[in-house]
Structure 1
Amino acid sequence: MQLNDLYLKALNLEFLSIEEGMFLFEHAPLTELMLVADTLRKKQVPHGKVSWQIDRNVNTTNVCIANCKFCNFYRIPGHPEAYITNMGTYRKKITETIRYGGDQLLLQGGHHPELGLDFYTNIFRQIKQEFPTIKLHALGPPEVAHITKLEKSTHREVLTALKEAGLDSLPGAGAEILVDRVRRLISKGKCGADEWLAIMHEAHELNITTSATMMFGHVETIEERFIHLARIREVQAMKPADAKGFLAFIPWTFQDVDTLLTRIRGVHNLTTADEYVRMIAISRIML
């Protein structure tokens, strides 16, 4: 493989294979990767404008049975610090968000074993009734999978009910790395890679806009990062023509302080600044 051939392929908006992407990641000078990625950005967004979504992250509950090894947030059922957020708290936080120019609520939480579909649809309806202009960017595939299991239902039925109750878009939470070898090591209580992707495909079929994420810098290999990117790309290619599908991709590094993954398994985030920028650039090129 030649670097220049791969640059030209990317700049012609052709998808690079996993092997080609890995070759670029491992051999291309960072400045050249950045140039290709930025050129692609300018092709697709020629006006050069950058915008921000002003929102607030509010958690429904910190009770969770997923037992992810990288999470310091969750509490087991019955823990003295466990909580379920009440409407008074939502009301206060949404009012503050609107006052500061925000118009969206990022609403997520743990896998509570007793909170089913009615709990979430009731919250969504009440929020929309009191704050009709606030957008609900809420839950994520692992939570949809959890609710589906509790209800003995289907992904489509759960997503449809959430949308009817006020869900505007579905975050790409819980993707981590979309390879089950990795998920068994760091988040085996969550849905597997296939189910995460299937829920996103179902959301796109229902014209629910979504985002996608990747948490890297822990137990995954470089190849598994590229498998992750390719699988997201495949789901986006299957969306209906009138659906936006994935509207954003957000990669971030594993935050290792005080996590079980670090304390028990000795896994540390060793990502350098160079590697982080390299990952941002290659994500733009691959996607």
Structure 2
Amino acid sequence: MHETPALHELLERQLGLASPEVARILDRALSGHELTIEEGERLFATHGRDLFLVTLVADELRRRAVGDVVTYVVNRNINFTNVCIKRCGFCAFSRGHREEQGYFLPLEEIVRRAREAWELGATEVCIQAGLPPKMDPDLYPTICRAIKAELPEIHIHGFSPEEVVYGALRARTSIEEYLLRLKAAGVGSLPGTSAEILDDTVRQRISPGRITTAQWVEVITTAHRLGIPTTATIMYGHVETDRQRAAHLALIRSIQKETGGFTEFVPLSLVHSEAPMYRKRLLPDLRPGATGEDVVKMHAIARIMLHPYIRNIQVSWVKEGPKLAQWCLNAGANDLGGTLINESISTAAGATYGQLVPPRELRRWIREAGRVPAERTTLYEIRTPLTDEDPPHPLDAAAEHPERFGSYFQLIQDERFAFRKHYRIVLDAIPARAEAGAEKR
């Protein structure tokens, strides 16, 4: 074996300069022990050599859990309206129902977008939107039934806990009953968004009127009990403390240990530039989003605290861009999310990394990071062979003409989809569609 004494000496010196407390915590993690909230909080305070060790341990746990494969899903986001009765301080996407830029996609357009995505090789549509006023309680199930009637094999990843609570409220039914309606209509999994920080003191500051931590947990655990898998998220980089970040991860871990229903954990850093609470200086201690160091820490510590219960840690290219996303693949992450096609929410907030990345580009990023790319389904079944060859994909060619998909900024100016013109028509049509759907069943 070729010895490299200079390198060994350097590593020993670096390790010797690391904090003994951090080294002890990381040794516990590598030995299979669950970290406490206090230990997670300590890791969030690391810098320099200590942070370097955190990323090394996260990378090792990633390798143990999933090996060197990095996955992605070919999907399309369909954010069918930006009109919302709630005005969260971090959300630059939402509009009031009287605003000129409010839009609502007719059912036919939603189905058209889903069909176009399927024809271009997508396996998933992600359905999320604002909470429109006086919503018909059958709106969400109607959307799902219409998509499934035309595309029975496509996976509907739809409706956050916030939307589920709103739908159940409008339907005057329980969370469980409403989730059963969504499942019967074709929902295959729920996005675990609207989590933000699962601490009500933070939630009341950045999004008063949003669902509580207990409501988020109720929707998620009920979905898992009913056989509906979900993702889990965190939105960080605003007013939360290191302890609140660590407590959020510990809560996600405890739910997963109980239900096993999370498919992935997705850290989402705040895109601050257009967020109302930032532009209007509503919170004196608000940070301008996460730093690069924060992003690396979050992915690494998520891997460490959630291991081995949640296998997949996703890094968002929309939030972080390709360069930082690649680096997070060396700090615990093993998934790059989706192609998206129409990303609206982060774009509205000021994200500048585009609304679509085709499979060919995602695979290039993964290979440049020294890893093995693979397309997956929503539920993490591998769809492509693990070879050095990139299989041709129809979305690659379509992405050379992104204008065919339209942009978010075009959408909010498009009179064809103006909320004030179409929303009442859609609501009036839902009872008839619901009856037709019932007859088919």
Name the TM tier (shorter chain).
Answer: over 0.9
Contact 1:117 1:158 in 2 (8 A): no
Within the candidate set 54, 57, 79, 1:33 is matched to 54
Choose which of 142, 148, 158 in structure 2 pairs with 1:128. 148
2:29 is matched with which residue?
10
**Corresponding position: 1:201 with 2:221:** yes
Q: Which residue of 2 aligns with 1:111?
A: 131
Q: Check conservation: 2:77, 2:125, Cα contact below 8 A.
A: yes
Post-superposition Cα deviations, 1:47-76, rounded to whole Å, max 9, x if no partner, equal: x22221111111122111121011111111
Paired residues of 2:81 and 2:130 also in contact (CA < 8 A):
yes
The structure having more radius of gyration, on CA atoms, is: 2
State whether residues 141 and 182 of structure 2, in contact with CA within 8 Å, keep that contact through their aligned partners in structure 1.
yes
1:247 corresponds to which residue?
A: 263
**Cα offset, 1:169, TM superposition:** 0.2
Equivalents in 2 of 1:190, 1:95: separation in Å? 33
Q: How does 1:261-272 map to 2 (within 5 A)?
A: 261-264=277-280, 265=282, 267-272=286-291
Stretches of structure 1 lacking an aligned partner (at least 5 in a row)? none
Query: May I ask how many residue pairs the two structures share in their alignment?
Result: 282
Moved more, 87-96 or 123-132: 87-96
Shift of 1:270: 4.7
The offset of 1:13, in angstroms, is 2.7
SS of residue matched to 1:238: helix
Identity %: 37
SS in 1 for 2:267: strand
Inter-partner Cα distance in structure 2 for 1:157 and 1:87: 24
CA separation in 1, counterparts of 2:30 and 2:278? 40
> What SS does the aligned partner of 1:37 have?
helix
Question: Contact conserved, 2:271 with 2:289, CA < 8 A, in 1?
Answer: no
| Deviation of 1:2 (Å) | 2.5
Equivalent AA in structure 2 for residue 40 of structure 1: L
1:101 to partner: Cα distance: 1.9
Question: Which amino acid in structure 2 is aligned with residue 272 of structure 1?
Answer: T
Instruction: Say if 1:117 and 1:147, in contact at 8 Å, map to a contact too.
Output: yes
Q: Give the Cα–Cα distance (whole angstroms) in 1 for the partners of residues 125 and 110 of structure 2.
A: 10
CA distance in 2 between partners of 1:50 and 1:210 (Å): 20
The CA distance in 1 between the partners of 2:147 and 2:126, in whole Å, is 13
Q: Give the conservation status (yes or no) of the 8 Å contact 1:65–1:189.
A: no
CA contact 1:104–1:134 (8 Å) conserved in 2: yes
1:45 aligned residue: 66
Return the alpha-carbon distance in structure 2 between the equivalents of residues 161 and 13 of structure 1. 40
Alignment of 1:206-221 (within 5 A): 206-221=226-241
1:281 CA displacement: 0.3
What is the alpha-carbon root mean square deviation over aligned residues? 1.6
Match status 1:82 vs 2:102: yes
Shift of 1:213: 0.9
1:9-53 per-residue CA deviation (whole Å, 9 max, x = no partner) reads 21233210000111122246222111111111111113x222211
Aligned residue identity for 2:188 = D
Runs of 4+ aligned structure 1 residues displaced above 6 Å come to none
More moved, 24-33 vs 125-134 = 24-33
Specify the alignment match of 1:256 in structure 2: 272
Q: What amino acid maps onto 2:91 in structure 1?
A: C
Output the CA distance in 2 between the equivalents of 1:211 and 1:135: 14
Counterparts of 1:13 and 1:133, CA distance in 2: 39
Q: Indicate conservation of the 8 Å contact 2:124/2:156, yes or no.
A: yes
Whether 1:285 and 2:304 are equivalent positions in the alignment is yes
- Contact 1:253/1:269 (<8 A) preserved: no
- So what's the TM-score if we normalise by structure 2? 0.62
TM-superposed CA distance for 1:219, in Å, is 1.2
TM-score by length of structure 1 reads 0.93
